[in-house]
Chain A
Amino acid sequence: MTRLVHAELLKLRTTRLLLWLALMIVALIGLIVSLNGGERSFDDLARASSQRDLITTAAISALIALILGIVVSTAEYAHGTIGGTFLVSPVRERVVAAKVFAAMLSGAVLAAFAWALALALAAVWLAVRSVPSHLLSHDIFTLLLGLLAASALTGAIGVGFGAILRRQTAAIVVALVWLLVGEPLMAVAGKQRYAPGHVVVAVAEAGHQASGGDLLAFWPALLLGLGYAALFAVAGTLVVVRSDVT
C-alpha cells in the first residue's frame, strides 16, 4: 500500500498540476486579501476577528483540493494511463485507496501553503497600514488545523467523486454546479448545514463561524465530513472495480 501511495505522490510531483493549483491559490488569495487589506477601515482591520477573516480566505484551498482530488482520479482515464496503473496493481481497491491518501496529503499541503500565504500577505498589509497585528494568536493557528482537515477531506471527496464519474470536465462542472446551485437549494429546505460544502466550511473555520452562517460545530462537522469522504470513496471504488478499461 505504501508503494502505491508513493507512486501516486510521484505522479503528482512529475506533472505541473500542483504548480498550476498553487498558482490559482496565489492569484485568488492575493486578490482577496489585498482587496480586504487595502479597503477595510483602520478600525475594522484592527479587530482580531477581521484579521482572522483575512486568513480564512485560505479556505479557498479546500475548493482547490476538491479539484485536485477529481483530477487525481480522472486524469488517468483522460490520458489512458489507467490501464498501465491497473497492470502494475490489478487490485483496484488499493489503487483508489492510494489515490485517496495522496489527495488528502496533497490537499493538506495546499492548505498549509494557502494559510502561510494569507498570513504573509495579511502581515504585509497590516504593516503597510500600521495596524496592530493579532496574527500570531491562538485562533489563527487553530484555523490552520481546520484548513488542513477541510482540504484533506475535499481531496478525498474529489477522488471518490471523480472515480464515480471518471470524466474530468464533467466531474469538475457537476461539483461546482452542486456548490453554486445544489447547496443553496438545500438552504431553502433549511438543511444546508448538513450539505457537504457547508460541512467542509464548518471544518475549515474550526468552529469560529466567521462567515456567520448556520454551520455545524467543528467536531460534528468533521465527523460528517469523514462520513461523506468515506461514502464517496466507497462508491467510487465500487464503480472503478466493476468497470471495464477499454
Chain B
Amino acid sequence: MAAAPPIEVRGLTKRFGSTTAVADLSFAIPPGRITGFLGPNGAGKTTTLRALLGLVRPTSGDALVNGVPYRKLADPARTVGAVLEASSFHPGRSGRNHLRVLAAAAAIPQARVGEVLEDVELAGAGGRRVGGYSLGMRQRLSVAGALLGSPRLLVLDEPANGLDPEGIRWLRNFLRSFADEGGTVFISSHVLAEVAQLADEVVIIHRSRLIAHEPLETLTARAAGGTVVRSPDAERLRQGLAEAGVEAAAGDGGSLRVAAEPEQVGEVAAAAGVVLHELRREEASLEEVFLELTAEEPK
C-alpha cells in the first residue's frame, strides 16, 4: 500500500452557524514539495488549516495528516510543525520560555530550544519578553516553535503577513532549504506574488470551494499579464506599438500597459528610438487569476 500523502482533505465542509466557511473541499498534497494554499481573505484557508490541525471540528468530511486525523497522531510535534497567527504568545513570557513550555509539553529535550532559536536567528533576543518583539521576531518565534520537534511537514498560515521585505526573504530562503532537504511545506497566502517565488504547486480556493490545484507554471501561464512600460515619450511609443499591431493603454505618469511580452515592447521601443524609464512584466494579481479561473468554471 502506498504511503498516505502528508496532507489530504476529503469532502471537507465546515459551517459556523449559518455561515459555510469551507464547502466540500478535497485535495491532497505531495511529499517533498512546497504547496501554496491561495485564496482571498475569507476564502476558507484558515478554517481548512485549522481543521487539518485538529483545532476546528469538521461539519463533515476529513482532514488528514499522514492518513490520520491530527488528534490521532502519535507524536504531533515531531510530525507537523505549524505556524498560526503571529500574535499567539503570552506577552509577559520570554521567547525562550515560550519554547521551553512547548518543549516540556511535547517531551522534547530543552537543549533543542537553543538550537531552534539559533535556526531562526533569535538567539540574542530569546531572553526578552515577547511583548517587546517586532512582528517579524514574533513570526520567527512561531517558526522556531514549529521546528522544535524536527518535523518533516510544515503548515504555515499567512506567515508573511506583516513581515518586512528582509523577513520575507529570510522566510523564503528558509522554507526553500527545508524543502530541498526533503521536507514538505503547505503555506497559505492571499498574495500570489508571495507564493509565486516559492511554491512548486498551488491549491486555490475561492468562496469556500476549490477552484484549482495545479503546478505553479501552469497557473502563471494561464494568468500571464502584460507589460508595463514607462517612457518620457509614451505617445510615440504607443504609436510604434500600434504599428506593430500591439494594443497599449495609457496609464499614469507616462506609463503604458501593453498586451505583449516585455521583449517585444523593448524591441519596438529600440526600433522607434524611444527612451524607456521602466520596462517590466505586469504581475498577475491573485484577483486577476481568480477572475480568469472563475470565469472558466462552468456554473
Binding site for B on A (CB under 8 A): 3-4, 6-7, 10-11, 14-16, 75, 79-81, 83-91, 242, 244-246
Contacts and interface: CB of A to CB of B under 8 A. Distances in A.
Given A3-B106, A14-B100, A87-B54, 20 more contacts: A3-B104, A4-B105, A10-B104, A11-B93, A14-B94, A14-B97, A79-B90, A79-B91, A80-B84, A83-B55, A83-B88, A84-B88, A244-B16, A244-B50, A244-B55, A244-B57, A245-B55, A246-B16, A246-B47, A246-B50
Given A87-B77, A90-B70, A244-B57, A80 B104 contact: no
23 contacts: A7-B104, A7-B105, A11-B90, A11-B93, A14-B93, A79-B88, A79-B91, A80-B84, A84-B84, A84-B102, A87-B76, A87-B80, A87-B84, A88-B77, A88-B105, A90-B70, A90-B76, A244-B56, A244-B57, A245-B56, A246-B47, A246-B50, A246-B55
Contacts of A79: 88-91
A11 B87 contact: no
A15 B92 contact: yes
B53 to A, nearest CB: 6
Interface of B: 16, 46-47, 50, 53-57, 70-71, 73, 76-77, 80, 82, 84-85, 87-94, 97-98, 100-102, 104-107, 145
B85 A80 contact: yes
A86 B57 contact: no
A4 to B, nearest CB: 6
Contact of A90 (B46, B71, B94): B71
Given A84-B84, A89-B105, A245 B93 contact: no
A133 to B, nearest CB: 41
Given A79-B89, A246-B50, A7 B101 contact: yes
- What is the interface of chain A mostly: helix, strand, loop, or mixed? helix
B246 to A, nearest CB: 49
Contacts of B88: 79-81, 83-84
- Interface centre among A79, A85, A242, by most chain B C-beta atoms within 10 angstroms, is A79
